[in-house]
A and B are shown apart, each in its own frame.
Chain A
Amino acid sequence: NAGVTQTPKFRVLKTGQSMTLLCAQDMNHEYMYWYRQDPGMGLRLIHYSVGEGTTAKGEVPDGYNVSRLKKQNFLLGLESAAPSQTSVYFCASTLARSDAQYFGPGTRLTVL
């Protein structure tokens, strides 16, 4: 099993550009999450999904959109990137809500 994978690993964008981050898991997990990690702030939840076709807002959803068309994939979109979205983005998944989360390796995004 590959676990949780994220594509791409690194990306540099200019302000106003758009991009999509892909998260894939092969563990048949129901729940998937997108976090951003910034120095001194831990992980903050952007959006999450409790199953195929569902999405919900987390703590810091503004400027991001998500889709979960297939159970194994969870996409995070930035429609118009801003420098404040420079961060490391992590995807995670879990079988049940109170289970430990499995994390991907992260995507380092820089917005100039």
Chain B
Amino acid sequence: AQSVTQLGSHVSVSEGALVLLRCNYSSSVPPYLFWYVQYPNQGLQLLLKYTSAATLVKGINGFEAEFKKSETSFHLTKPSAHMSDAAEYFCAVQYSSASKIIFGSGTRLSIRP
């Protein structure tokens, strides 16, 4: 079955440290890939989207993600964490333009002062 897996339900980093949130999908066929962010008591907002134009995708708030077909991964990174990055992050995959989007279970990011 097609799926998306986020490794780590909770990640904690120090302010200024590298942020790495992991996402793996289940098919080798290049899909549409998304990262969304959810701040407390809010809906999801799009961080970035992969559409095969480039393997490194830059998003808002300094985040970027790299598509690696050989590893079926789409990990999210940010060089230097800020307190305002504390939120829940969802990876999502869509295997074709006609299929439904599948969300991962989410990773809660905490930032230590």
Contact = CB atoms under 8 A, between A and B. Distances in A.
Interface band, chain A: 20 to 34
Interface string A38-58: 001111110010000000001
Nearest to A45: B100
Nearest to B104: A42
Interface stretch (B43-51, B65-73, B75-83): B43-51
A92 B38 CA distance: 14
Nearest to B97: A98
B9 A40 contact: yes
A103 B44 contact: yes
B105 A100 contact: no
Nearest to A100: B46
Interface in B39-59: 41-46, 49, 51
Given A98-B32, A98-B94, A100-B49, A90 B44 contact: yes
Contacts of B101: 101
B63 interface: no
Contacts of B42: 105-106
B90 interface: yes
B69 to A, nearest CB: 18
Interface of A: 4, 35, 40-45, 48, 58, 90, 92, 96-98, 100-101, 103-106
User: 4 smallest A-B Cβ distances: which pairs?
Assistant: A103-B43, A98-B97, A42-B105, A100-B46
